[in-house]
Amino acid sequence: MPKDLLFADNATREMVKRAEAENIDTIWDRYDAVQPQCKFGSLGVCCRICTMGPCRISLTPGKDPQTGACGANADTIAARNIARMIAAGTAAHSDHGRGVALTLLQAAEKPNFDYQIKNADKLKAIAEVYGVKVQGRSISDIAQDVAKAALEEFGRYEGEVRIAATAPKTRQELWRKLRIFPRSIDREVVETMHRTTMGVDADYKNIMKQGMRAALADGWGGSMVATELSDVLFGSPQPLRSRANLGVIEADNVNIVVHGHEPLLSDVLAIMSKDEDLIAKAKAKGAKGIGLAGICCTANEILVRHGVPLAGNFMQQELAILTGAIEMMVVDVQCLMPSIATVAGCFHTQLVTTSSKARMAGVRHIEFHETEAKKICTEIIGEAIENFSNRKKERVYIPKDTEKLVAGFTTESVFHHLGGKYRSTYRPLNDAIIAGRLRGAAGVVGCSTPRIDYESGHIKMVKELLKNDVLVVSTGCNAITCAKHGLLKPESAFEFAGKGLQEICRAVGIPPVLHVGACVDNSRILRTLTNIVSEGGLGNDLSDLPVAGAAPEWMSEKAVTIGFYFVASGVYTVIGHPLPMMGSQNLFNYLTRDIEQEVGGKWAFEPDAVVAAHKMIRHIDKKRKALKLKPMMYEQALKPEE
C-alpha cells in the first residue's frame, strides 16, 4: 500500500493512486517493504570494511561490544562510514566535471565537433583563474589551455586545486591552516578511501578533516569545474519561463523523458528534438511533434539553458513512465532507480541507458560518445519515434497539473539583474541585508525521499523562510519541488514572502526562490556567497554572512558531500534525517558543535521542517548581530530574540 501523500503535488498523488490501481510498485511501496531498517546501519556503527566483520557496536551504553574485532570504536567506525560517503559524493560530481572538461578539450581541438564554445566571456573569466593567457589568442587556443588546466585539477601531484582560489582569501588561509585545502580532486577521493580502509586512520576528527578536504575538492573543485565549463560549452543560463510537473507531457507528442545528471547528452537532445526532419518523421507517425521533458538534474540542466519543461523530480521518475505516454526514457548517470526498468516493462516505454558507467541488466544500451553526439541523439530520437505506434492509447493517463516557473539564475547574472550593464553590481543585495529588508539568504537544496511526507520538508521550510524575509536559492530536486508548488513564479512573492522580501522581488522582478541549477551547481551558491563577501559590508569571510543551508529531504551520498563542503566553507547546514553516525556521541558533538570553532560552519539535524527553518533563522540572526546590522525593517513572523 502506498503511503497516503498529504503534502505532495496533485499529479504525484494521482499517479501514486494509478500505480496502485495498475498494481505497479513504486518507491513508496518498496520503501515500506524494507522496513524495519537496520538500526546499526542507520546509526553508522556497523563496520563492513574487512571480513573480520561485519562488526557492530552495541547501542546500549556500557554494554559490549563497544569496539569491533580490530578495536575500532563507534567514533572511528561512524567517521569512516561518513568519510566514505563523502568520497562517493565527490566522485560522482567530479566525474561529471571531468566529462565536461574532456568534452571542452575536444570542442577546442576539433573544428567540426558537435559541441561548440557558446560562452567566450565566461571562458576568459575562467582563463584568468587558471592564469591562461587571453590577449591575442583564439578562443579555441584559450579553451584548450583552460580544459587542460581543469583536467589537471583531478590528478595534480603537487600544489592545490586552483579553482578553489576563487574562495575569499581569509577562507583559503583558514583551509591551509587547518590543512584541509584540497590538493587534487582524485587524490582526495583516493586518500579518503585509503585512510578509511582496514587499519589506517582511527582518529574520528582526523578522518573528518580528510572528509572535509574531499568535500571541498567537490564543491570548490569537481562541481565547480562541471558548472563553470558547462556554462562555457552550453552557454550560461538566462532567466526563462517554463513549466513543471507531469502535466507537461502532451498526449499527442512523441515523448522522450531524459533523466539523470549530465548535460552532455541531454543538451544535444534538446537541440535535436527541434530538428525539422525528425519532427517531420514524428508527424508522419501521427504525432503532433516531439515532446522532451526532464526528470531530476538532467532536467534542471536543460531547463535552465533551453527551457525544456520539468516532468518531475527524483521521486517521480516511475510516475512519468506510468503516464503510458512516454515513448522513451533516456538516462545517463546518478539517482536512477533500477525499478524504472520494471515499470517501463509494464508499458510500451523504451528505457535506454547511455553511459558505460550506468547500465541496467537487460536494458537497451546506446552508448553515448561526445564524438558522435548528434548522430547518437538522432538515433535515439528515431527509435522513440518508431516506438510511438506501440503506444496503447487506452493506457495513457496524464495528470493535468502543471505549474509555471521562472528559472535560470547564475552567480554572474545577479550583476546584471541588480544593476544592468553599467551599474552591474551585488550592492542592492548586500544593502537589502544590511538595511534589514532581507533577514538573510538560505540555500535550500537536495534530494527528495520516501522517508518523510513527500515535499513537506521542502515546501514547509521554504515557505517559513520566505515568510521571514529570507531569500531562498535552490538547486536540484528542491528546485523542482518549488517549481511544482508555484514558488518559482515571481508573483508568488506577494503571496508567500515577508514585506521586505516582497519589496526586493518587486524592485528586481525576481521570484522569491531562485532556481540556480542542478545539484552540481551548488558551486554557484559558493561563488555567489563569495561575491556577496567581496561586495562588502557583510564581513570578510563566508562564515560571517547571515546565511544558512539546508537539505530537508536528503538521501544521497552527494548530499552528504555538499553538506560537508558548505560546513567547511563556514555555512550552518541543517538536514532533515540525521547523518548515519548517531551511534557516536563524540562524532555527533564534533559535527554539530565543536567543528564550528574550526571552520565557522556546523551541522544540525532537524526532521521538523518548520523548526529547522527557525534554527536557520536564529543562526542568521546570530550572524546579523555579530555584524551589528540594523534591526529588521518590518515586523517578522518569527521575532528576533532580544
Partner 1 sequence: MSKIIATAAIRGAHKLVNRAEAALADAIKAKGKDAAIEYPNTAYYLPIMYLFLGQKVQKLGDLEESMQEARNLLHDPPSDDLWLPYLGDTLDCGVATLLAEETIEVLKCFMGPSPVNGIWLGFTDDAILRTQGIKLVDGRMPGFAAIVGATKTNREAVELIRGLQERNILVFMAGNSGGRAIAEQLAAEGVEMNWDTFLVPYGKEITSAIHALNFAARSAMTFGGIEPGGMKQAREILRYNKERVHAFVLALDADPGVNGQLLTDEKYATAAGAINFGFPVISDVNIPEILPSGICTYEHVVANVPVAEIITRAAEVRGLKIKIEKIPIPVPFGAGFEGERVRKEDMHAQFGGQYTDAFELLRMKPLDQIEDGKIEVIGPEIDGMKEGEAFPLGILIDVAGREFQEDFESVVERRIHHYISCANGIFHMGQRSIIWVRISKEAKAKGFKIKHFGDILVTKIHNDFSSIIDRVQVKLITDAEKIKGPLEEAKRMYKHRDDRIAGMTDDDVEDFYSCTLCQSYAPNHVCIVTPQRLGLCGAYSWLDCKASYQIDKNGPNEPVQKGECLDPVKGQWKGVNDYIAVKSHGNLKNFNAYSMLEDPMTSCGCFECICGIVPEANGVMIVDRDHAGMTPVGMKFSTLAGKIGGGIQTPGFIGIGKLYISSPKFISAEGGIERLVWMPRTLKEEVGVRLKERLQKIGKEDLFDKIATEENAETPDKLLEFLESVDHPALKLDPII
At 313, the amino acid letter reads: N
Least distance between partner 1 and beta carbon 425 (Å): 7
Q: What is the CA radius of gyration of the chain?
A: 24
* 104 vs 514 by CB, closer to partner 1: 514
C-alpha cell at 13: 498523488
Q: Give the integer Cα–Cα distance in Å for 357 and 478.
A: 26
Q: Tell me the window of 182-190, 225-233, 237-245, 330-338 that interacts with partner 1 (CB under 8 A).
A: 237-245
The reply on whether position 120 binds partner 1 by CB under 8 A is no
Check binding of 418 to partner 1 (CB under 8 A): yes
Judged by CB under 8 A, does residue 52 bind partner 1?
no
Q: Which is nearer to partner 1, 268 or 432 (CB)?
A: 432
CB of 463 to partner 1, least distance (A): 20
Does 235 help bind partner 1 (rule: CB under 8 A)?
no
CA 53 distance to own-chain centroid: 34
**488-517: which residues touch partner 1 (CB under 8 A)?**
489-491, 503-504, 506-510
Identify which of residues 201 and 412 has a Cβ nearer to partner 1 in the complex: 412
Residue 427 binding partner 1, by CB under 8 A: yes
Least Å distance between CB 242 and partner 1?
A: 10
In angstroms, the CA 211 to CA 213 distance is 5
**Interacting residue with partner 1 among 422, 628, 635, 642 (CB under 8 A):** 422
Residues 119, 123: Cα–Cα separation, whole Å: 6
417 binds partner 1 (CB under 8 A): yes
Amino acid at 178: L
CA dist 488 and 561 (Å) reads: 26
Stretch that binds partner 1, among 15-23, 186-194, 319-327, 424-432 (CB under 8 A): 424-432
Q: Which residues contact 264 (CB under 8 A, 6 or more apart)?
A: 99, 100, 103, 332, 368, 370, 373
Residues 97 to 116: which contact partner 1 by CB under 8 A?
none
| Number of residues in contact with partner 1 under rule CB under 8 A | 33
Provide the minimum distance between the beta carbon of 424 and partner 1 in the complex, in angstroms, as a whole number: 7
Residue whose CB is less far from partner 1, 511 or 578:
511
Is the link from the previous residue into 237 a cis peptide, with omega within 30 of 0?
no
Residue 134 within binding range of partner 1, rule CB under 8 A: no
Q: Which of 425, 592, 607, 640 binds partner 1 (CB under 8 A)?
A: 425
568 interacts with partner 1 by CB under 8 A = no
**Closest listed residue to residue 266, CA positions, set 100, 95, 31, 101:** 100
**Binder among 423, 622, 625, 639 for partner 1 (CB under 8 A):** 423
Read out DSSP for 114-181? S-----HHHHHHHHHHTT---TT--HHHHHHHHHHHHHHHHH-SSS--GGGGGS-HHHHHHHHHHT-S
Q: Shortest gap between Cβ of 140 and partner 1 (angstroms)?
A: 25
Instruction: Pick the closer one to partner 1 by CB: 165 or 435.
Output: 435
The span from the CA of 359 to the CA of 338, in Å, is 9
In the complex with partner 1, the residue whose CB is nearer, 382 or 509, is: 509
91: enclosing H helix or E strand: helix 74-109
- Whichever of 114 and 403 has its CB closer to partner 1, that residue is 403
Cell output for 80:
569512516
Question: Among 3, 118, 395, 416, which residue sits at the site for partner 1 (rule: CB under 8 A)?
Answer: 416
Maximal C-alpha separation, the chain: 74
Q: Which of 289, 419, 607, 640 binds partner 1 (CB under 8 A)?
A: 419
Cis peptide before 54 (omega within 30 of 0): yes
In whole angstroms, how far apart are CA 339 and each of 299, 321, 380, 526, 638? 19, 11, 21, 34, 43
**389-399 in b/e burial notation, b at 16+ Cβ within 10 A?**
eebeeeeebbb
- Binding segment for partner 1 (CB under 8 A), chosen from 59-67, 145-153, 217-225, 415-423, is 415-423
CB of 428 to partner 1, least distance (A): 3
Give me the long-range contacts of 293-296 (CB less than 8 A, separation at least 24): 293/248, 293/249, 293/255, 293/256, 293/257, 293/258, 293/320, 294/257, 294/258, 294/259, 294/266, 295/257, 295/258, 295/259, 295/320, 295/329, 296/259, 296/260, 296/261, 296/334, 296/335, 296/477, 296/480
432 binds partner 1 (CB under 8 A): yes
Which one of 437, 485, 527, 577 is in contact with partner 1 (CB under 8 A)? 437
Q: How far apart are CA 465 and CA 613, in angstroms?
A: 6
- Shortest distance (Å) from residue 512 CB to partner 1: 13
Give min distance, CB of 423 to partner 1, in A: 5
What type of residue is 196? Answer: T
Question: Mask: binding to partner 1, 378-407, rule CB under 8 A, as x and -?
Answer: --------------------------x-x-
Cα(602)–Cα(548) distance, rounded to whole angstroms? 10
Residue of the chain from 421, 631, 635, 642 that contacts partner 1 (CB under 8 A): 421
Using CB under 8 A, which of the segments 5-13, 24-32, 429-437, 548-556 binds partner 1? 429-437
Minimum separation from the CB atom of position 78 to partner 1 (A): 45
**Residues 439-498 within binding reach of partner 1 (CB under 8 A):** 489-491
Q: Is 428 in the site for partner 1 (CB under 8 A)?
A: yes
DSSP string, 250-276: -TTEEEEEEEES-HHHHHHHHHHTT-H
Site string for partner 1, 322-361 (x = CB under 8 A): ----------------------------------------
Q: Taking each helix axis as running N to C, give the angle between helix 522-535 and helix 427-435, from 0 to 180 degrees, rounded to the nearest 10.
A: 70
CB of 500 vs partner 1, minimal distance in Å: 9
**180, 205 in Cβ contact below 8 A?**
no
Q: Closest CB to partner 1 among 283 and 416? A: 416
Which residue in 26, 430, 449, 530 binds partner 1 (CB under 8 A)? 430
Binding footprint of partner 1 on the chain (CB under 8 A):
239-241, 404, 406, 416-425, 427-432, 435, 437, 489-491, 503-504, 506-510
